[in-house]
Structure 1
Amino acid sequence: MTQGPTPALYAARGPDDLEVARIRKELEESRCIVVAGRTEDWWPHGTGPDAEDVRVLLGADRARADRQPTPERRIRFIVSRLMLRATAGALLGADPALFEVAYTVTGRPYLRGCDELDISVGDCEGLVAVGLMDGGRVGVDVAPLQPPPLRLPSVEHLLTRHELDRLHAARPSARHPLLLRFLTLKNSYAKAMGSGRRIPYADFGVATDRDGCHLMGKDGRFYVPGFGAASNNFGSTHLISATGVAKSG
């Protein structure tokens, strides 16, 4: 079986904490990386940024920042754009201020003028993660590790029979972490493909074995080539799942 691009996760406490040589090497080898950091580390300014800061930092993205429903969401949005620019600049050896985030007709972000470098953003309660992939599609999803437990009957329609069987076979204490992993991996794949929920989540599954994560049909019997995924805890607070999908041909 051909291994797909498996995202590598790196934590960074700010632009100066990016391990440039390491992430460049990882992008060259695996083609897909995820950089994550806490908003308080990337924006240690106490209250939110003033209007002039936002204008300089975000440019055309200022309007999107202003539409965020809460101050905390606004700062997360700003940090996500800072992190995208800083990581792309470190990878490509360019001034981060030169990168402009634009959007497809479906709202999916991309870096204008960087056609081969795909991007994705995930954020949740004080944490931001950005994914970058060379020559493919990447999706990132972030979730808190300790939300109120998800009730299986309310999400059964999002899972394949194979995934439901795995959940029922798991120890009770392991079911919520496994369910969270399934759902965030599915979310990351949907973001990578730009499909949202247009592809029913019960029509595809995520399986793991000694070779890593694989995308499977809903019957659990076949693998989809060119797919790689990873799901890792960020400290004790968040789960980050990412998917890389290689271009065919």
Structure 2
Amino acid sequence: MQTPTPIPTPIPIPGFGEPLRISGRYGSWDAVRAELDEHGVTVLHARLADWRPGRVPGPRLRTLLGRDWARYLDLTHPDVRARFAASRILLKFAAAAAVEVAPEAVELAYHLTGRPYLRGIDAVDISLSHTDELLVVGLSSRGPIGVDAERGDRDLYGCGLADHFCTPHELDSLKILQPQRRNPELLRLWTLKEAYTKATGLGLRFPFTDFGFRTPDGQGGVRRRDGTPATGPEWSFRTSYVDDAYVLSTAVRDTGFGTTRDRSAHTMLDEALVDALVSALDEEAEESGPDDEDW
């Protein structure tokens, strides 16, 4: 009689660190690369003021935004335009640090669902979020990543929104919490769901009332409507409180291929193409002036 093959014990997926604060274009990009090397994941948060383009767009802004330039011009509200541009600039600087190229060489593209990705570079997955004065960028070499943030003082529970995006199990769990804990817990659940659906690429096509997380600690991954587990150890989640004002959640799926340590674009792209691109960017930088502070 043949001895059955034993089922291997699942190896816990390593976690990832707390979000890193990036104060500007000259921020701690070495720390970003170090986080990716160690965890395969890094999440950055920044203030809008540090990345807001000037009132009069500089020549570098159009180059940095690339295909997003037309979308930027179509936005009419000044604050919306500023957040749109600043979030893309931060994302390009972060991705550039990860793959070791100039920010202008990073090209963003979008899936049909609107989910952004790095065109021509599949070693790093990306996600972004912005709300109020906060910008958030997620990078992962382990697999898909999603990030989301909300103001910590936003009232969701008092407005009755829990019924519209919580599972029956989550609603029951919220009701037994002390009243002062219900809104903070609901904010955590909301941002986790946003982050998870961004990572899966489904967005709002996956109704928030159809999946949830355990309360109050949120451990154990995604849960079905009745509270039973729906995902395995391939998913990692984290919720943090940043800048003393915002709830930030991250969802990462490990594809099982390990962390990609060689993320350099030079090893993924044709060397002649990279040299030509760098040369063209150098020429454009000379025409635009040295390091235009107003983008």
Alignment TM-score, normalising by the size of structure 2 = 0.76
Whether 2:245 is the aligned partner of 1:237: answer yes
For residues 48 and 5 of structure 1, the distance between their equivalents in structure 2, rounded to whole angstroms, comes to 43
* Secondary structure in structure 2 of the residue aligned to 1:197: helix
* Segment of structure 1 superposing worse, 197-206 or 47-56: 47-56
Q: What whole-Å deviation, never above 9, does each CA across 1:14-69 have from its counterpart, x for those lacking one?
A: 1211241x3223223322211110010223x6x53426343132122101212334
CA contact (8 A) 1:4 1:244 kept: no
The answer to whether structure 1 residue 155 and structure 2 residue 162 are counterparts is yes
Which residue of the partner structure matches residue 82 of structure 1? 89
- Please tell me whether the aligned partners of residues 5 and 229 of structure 1 are also in contact (alpha carbons under 8 angstroms): no
Spell out, residue by residue over 1:137-175, the C-alpha distance to the aligned partner (whole angstroms, 9 max, x if none). Answer: 111111111124433643313112232122111111111
Unmatched tracts of structure 2, length 5 or more? 1-9, 258-295
Deviation at 1:181, TM superposition (A): 0.5
Structure 1 residue 39 and structure 2 residue 48: aligned?
yes
Instruction: Label 1:112 to 1:144 Cα distance change in 2 as closer, same or farther (>3 A).
Output: same
- Between 122-131 and 162-171, report the one with greater CA deviation: 162-171
1:52 aligns with 2:62: no
Tell me whether 1:218 sits opposite 2:228 in the alignment. Answer: no
Q: Which of 10, 16, 19 is 2:26 aligned to?
A: 16
Instruction: Please report how far the alpha carbon of residue 204 of structure 1 lies from its aligned counterpart in structure 2 after TM superposition.
Output: 1.4
Q: Deviations 1:65-85 (Å, cap 9, x if unpaired)?
A: 123342111111111111111
List alignment gaps of at least 5 residues for structure 1. none
The reply to whether residue 187 of structure 1 matches residue 194 of structure 2 is yes
Aligned residues: 246
Larger radius of gyration: 2
Which runs of 4 or more aligned residues in structure 1 lie more than 6 Å from their structure 2 counterparts after TM superposition? 208-211
Tell me what 2:37 maps to.
Answer: 28
Residue number in structure 2 paired with 1:65: 72
Whole-Å separation in 2 of the counterparts to 1:244 and 1:93: 23
The equivalent of 1:137 in structure 2 is 144
SS at the partner of 2:221?
A: strand
Cα contact 1:5–1:244 (8 A) shared by 2:
no
Q: Which string of whole-angstrom CA distances, capped at 9 and with x for unpartnered residues, describes residues 89-119 of structure 1?
A: 2122221211011111222111111112111
The residue type equivalent to 1:34 in the other structure is V
Identity over aligned pairs, percent: 33
Q: Which has the higher strand share?
A: 1
1:107-134 deviation digits (Å, cap 9, x = unpaired): 2111111112111110001111011111
Pairwise CA RMSD: 2.3
Q: Distance in 2 between matches of 1:153 and 1:209?
A: 19
Distance 1:211 1:161 in 2: 16
* 2:20–2:45 contact (8 Å) kept in structure 1: yes
Whether 2:181 is the aligned partner of 1:171: answer no
CA distance in 2, matches of 1:7, 1:66: 37
Distance 1:224 1:104, change over 3 A: same
Amino acid at match of 1:230: R
**CA pair 86-118 structure 1, distance change in 2 beyond 3 A:** same
Aligned-partner residue type, residue 217 of structure 1: R
Equivalent residue for 2:125, pick from 118, 130, 134: 118
Change (3 A) 1:193 1:219: same
Residue 128 of structure 1 corresponds to 135
Q: Is the CA contact 1:106–1:194 (under 8 Å) kept in the aligned structure 2?
A: yes
Distance (whole Å) between structure 2 residues aligned to residue 49 and residue 185 of structure 1: 37
